[in-house]
Amino acid sequence: MKCQKCQKKATFHITEIIKGEPVEIHLCEYHAHEYLMEANTESPALANAAAELAKQMSHHFAMDKAAEKINQTDVIVCPVCGVAYYEFRNVGRLGCANDYQHFADQLLPLIQQMQGATEHVGRRPSSYSGERSQKMTIKYGLRRQMAEAVAEENYELASELRDKIKEIDSKCQN
């Protein structure tokens, strides 16, 4: 149904009693707001009714916007495992580690709300050492460089990187 004042879709349908007869008015959001503002100036009773209706309208549109945002995020799919955000919302499980980066915009507020923080601030295992973690990070970077060197057939560089990785492995095990 179209708005009676313009060609937009009528989202508000108001029934008014005029001289004892019900009269239906169909308006878009803009014209409904305008209509309610006109009613505010006519009488205090109408002003209260208009205020209540305006409050309901704003709640209605807030819910519509929230539903629209949910629908937009539900179609996001992880390129690695193929899990849609919709599946995560229904099942409560992600498909792979990549999902944390791919769904970060949706997950970070959720994690913040549930855990109180988005970074680990608790205790760590007694075997954990910051130095060991740094060495592991370096080791994975070296492995990536070694794979690139092999792909480019630069075997001399690849063997040097392999030796560095072995050296880090021996230090981490001690």
pLDDT recorded at residue 21: 84
pLDDT recorded at residue 154: 93
pLDDT recorded at residue 131: 64
10-residue stretch averages of pLDDT, the chain, 174 residues long:
87 81 85 72 58 68 65 74 79 80 81 78 68 70 88 93 86 64
User: Do residues 90 and 96 make contact, with C-beta atoms less than 8 angstroms apart?
Assistant: no
pLDDT recorded at residue 122: 72
pLDDT recorded at residue 88: 78
pLDDT recorded at residue 104: 82
Question: H-type helices in the chain, by residue range?
Answer: 29-42, 44-74, 85-91, 99-102, 104-115, 130-151, 155-173
**Rounded Cα gap, residues 162 and 159, in angstroms:** 5
Query: Buried (b) or exposed (e) across 35-74, using 16+ Cβ within 10 A?
Result: bbeebeeeeeeeeeebeebbeebeeeeeeeeeeeeeeebb
Domain ranges of the chain: 12-71, 75-115, 130-173
Residue of 65, 86, 90, 64 whose CA lies nearest to 75 = 86
**Rounded Cα gap, residues 32 and 12, in angstroms:** 7
pLDDT recorded at residue 83: 81
Q: For residue 3, how many other CB atoms are within 10 A of its CB?
A: 19
**Rounded Cα gap, residues 77 and 58, in angstroms:** 32
pLDDT recorded at residue 174: 55
> Structure tokens of 28?
């878009």
pLDDT recorded at residue 70: 64
